[in-house]
């Protein structure tokens, strides 16, 4: 901290600042050179300001962690030493350009079992923040949350409710909301009563190399734009990966989502969501569920032993009062996945609705067949259709639920997977500014 004070004294506000490099470039360099050189100078000053604050375990660790987060300045690193921290108060960070780093997700453990409030364990509301290498346990509310953040990175974290799946657990493990340029990499979450890894009302998202287990939803992307979900393991959840768009939220029209190269297996935990939660509709044994989202591509994933079905494409099932909301999925492309056993144990109301029509085992891919009524009587634009292009032997059913309603005396499900063959242009890979040059 002494270094910081000395620099601040030397700068003295604007007095005594050394001239910006290029300031004397005159007419040849111009204003652009001056501005760019000035920016480089300010960035170098930020680097000189950077300090590394280290917090060790101890009886007053909660207060010292709170103080370190409050006193941090741009460029600082807060290192939380290995050890177990029994915390009674949640933590928050509202300073840009800060790294909070532990010494391993099983070595640096922030336990909130004695938390007095009901909030999250750690809340970040600033930009260009890196959270890495620590564990968070037993928060009363969400585990680690960002709100309104730009360039937020969650790396090599563990968030867990150690008592196993319970409705009393916090809703979300890792929870960026209303944020952008989000990287979730190498995260493990267990026991969330809503979603282990949840990204909501956000844009430009990468979720990779992570593990979600024993949650209601393993990974959920909700009301968000441009997301890549890949290289993850979603297992032992109620549902593996959910891509949702819901009504009555400030951000709607989720689109351009790629779900690929994931292992979505053995999702067999009974649904333990609190009553009234929308994920309470998810049946045990759901692989990937795409609801009311647009331009969603599900490919090169490995599905096995999901008891209800491997892939469900469906409309929002509840009544709503939102004139702007599009309740049906549009432009979903499912292709080149690998399917093992599944569909032998359809669960709950949703499982019964499906299996009453499809029979048991439920096919690998299920579409409820719901479209808007004008489209039902006319046609659906090519970019809004459902496409399935899978290897021979993959099973499929269109439940044709609109026909069930309008023509109860003369309809039947469609299991002809060949009729849905086609393709859509793939969304561009998500590129994040915090990974430029990596």
pLDDT at 376: 78
Give the global pTM: 0.88
- Within 10 angstroms of residue 298's Cβ, the number of other Cβ atoms is 29
143-182: b (≥16 Cβ within 10 Å) or e: bbbbbebbbbbbbbbbbbbeeebeeebbbbbbbbbebbbb
Is residue 290 within a helix (H) or strand (E), and if so which, with residue range?
strand 286-291
The string of DSSP letters for 50-91 reads: --EEEE--STTHHHHHHHHHHH--TT-EEEE-SEEEE-SS-E
The separation between the first and the last C-alpha atoms of the chain, rounded to the nearest angstrom, is: 31
**What are the beta bridge partners of residue 383?**
none
pLDDT at 131: 98
Residues in CB range of 305: below 8 A, 6 or more apart: 265, 266, 268, 340, 341, 342
Which one, of 129, 233, 235, lies nearest residue 187 by Cα? 233
By CB atoms closer than 10 A (0-12, 13-18, 19+), residue 370 is buried
pLDDT at 48: 52
pLDDT at 408: 72
CA atoms 240, 244, 247, 250: torsion sign: positive
pLDDT at 410: 67
Strands (E), 128-215: 129-132, 135-137, 144-147, 150-155, 158-160, 172-177, 180-185, 188-190, 195-200, 203-208, 211-213
Is residue 8 within a helix (H) or strand (E), and if so which, with residue range?
helix 2-11
Which one, of 87, 54, 93, lies nearest residue 73 by Cα? 93
pLDDT at 22: 33
pLDDT at 25: 36
pLDDT at 374: 78
d(CA 328, CA 280): 19
**Residue pair 117/91 in contact by the 8 Å Cβ criterion:** no
Peptide bond into 361 cis (omega under 30): yes
Instruction: Per-residue pLDDT tens, the chain, 438 aa: give them.
Output: 433 333 333 333 333 333 333 333 333 344 444 444 444 444 444 445 689 999 999 999 999 999 999 999 999 999 999 999 999 999 999 999 999 999 999 999 999 999 998 789 999 999 999 999 999 999 999 999 999 999 999 999 999 999 999 999 999 999 999 999 999 999 999 999 999 999 999 999 999 999 999 999 999 999 999 999 999 999 999 999 999 999 999 999 999 999 999 999 999 999 999 998 999 999 999 999 999 999 999 999 999 999 999 999 999 999 999 999 999 999 999 999 999 999 999 999 999 999 999 999 999 999 999 988 777 778 789 999 999 999 999 999 999 988 777 777 768 899 999 999 999 999 999 999 999 976
Taking the domains of the chain in order of start, what are their residue ranges?
2-47, 161-427
Angle formed at CA 256 by CA 255 and CA 261, multiple of 5 degrees: 130
d(CA 199, CA 39): 33
Is residue 9 within a helix (H) or strand (E), and if so which, with residue range?
helix 2-11
**Residue pair 115/140 in contact by the 8 Å Cβ criterion:** yes
d(CA 126, CA 92): 10
pLDDT at 6: 31
Which one, of 139, 149, 211, lies nearest residue 181 by Cα? 149
pLDDT at 398: 96
């Amino acid at each position: 901290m002494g270094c910081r004070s000395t620099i601040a004294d030397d700068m003295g506000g604007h007095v005594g600042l050394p001239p910006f490099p290029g300031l004397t470039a005159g007419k040849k360099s111009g204003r652009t050179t001056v501005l760019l050189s000035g920016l480089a100078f300010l960035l170098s000053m930020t680097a000189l300001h950077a300090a590394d604050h280290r917090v060790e375990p101890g009886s007053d660790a909660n207060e010292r962690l709170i103080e370190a987060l409050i006193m941090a300045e741009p460029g600082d690193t807060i290192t939380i030493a290995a050890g177990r921290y029994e915390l009674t108060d949640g933590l928050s960070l509202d300073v840009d350009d800060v790294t909070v780093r532990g010494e391993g997700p099983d070595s640096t453990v922030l336990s909130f079992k004695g938390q007095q409030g009901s909030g999250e364990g750690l809340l970040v509301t600033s930009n260009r923040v890196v959270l890495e290498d620590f564990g968070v346990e037993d928060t009363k509310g969400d585990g680690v949350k960002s709100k309104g953040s730009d360039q937020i990175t969650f790396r090599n974290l563990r968030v867990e409710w150690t008592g196993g799946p319970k409705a009393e657990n916090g809703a979300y493990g890792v929870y960026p909301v209303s944020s952008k340029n989000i990287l979730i990499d190498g995260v493990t979450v267990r026991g969330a009563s809503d979603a282990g890894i949840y990204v909501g009302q956000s844009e430009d998202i990468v979720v990779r190399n992570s593990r979600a287990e024993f949650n209601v939803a393993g990974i959920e992307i909700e009301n968000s734009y441009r997301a890549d979900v890949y290289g993850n393991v979603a297992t032992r959840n109620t549902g593996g990966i959910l891509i949702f768009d819901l009504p009555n939220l400030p951000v709607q029209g989720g689109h351009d989502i790629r779900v690929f190269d994931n292992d979505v297996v053995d999702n067999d935990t009974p649904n333990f969501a609190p009553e009234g939660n929308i994920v309470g509709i998810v049946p045990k044994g759901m692989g990937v569920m795409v609801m009311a989202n647009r331009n969603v591509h599900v490919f090169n994933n490995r599905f096995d032993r999901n008891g209800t079905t491997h892939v469900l494409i469906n409309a929002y099932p509840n009544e709503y009062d939102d004139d702007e909301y599009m309740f049906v999925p549009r432009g979903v492309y499912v292709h080149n996945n690998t399917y093992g056993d599944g569909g032998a144990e359809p669960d709950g109301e949703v499982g019964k609705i499906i299996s009453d029509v499809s029979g048991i085992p439920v096919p690998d891919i299920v579409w409820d067949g719901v479209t808007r009524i004008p489209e039902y009587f006319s046609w659906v634009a090519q970019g809004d259709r459902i496409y399935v292009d899978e290897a021979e032997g993959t099973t499929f059913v269109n439940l044709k639920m609109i026909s069930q309603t309008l023509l109860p005396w003369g309809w039947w499900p469609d299991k002809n997977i060949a009729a849905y063959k086609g393709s859509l242009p793939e969304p561009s890979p998500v590129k994040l500014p915090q990974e430029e040059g990596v």
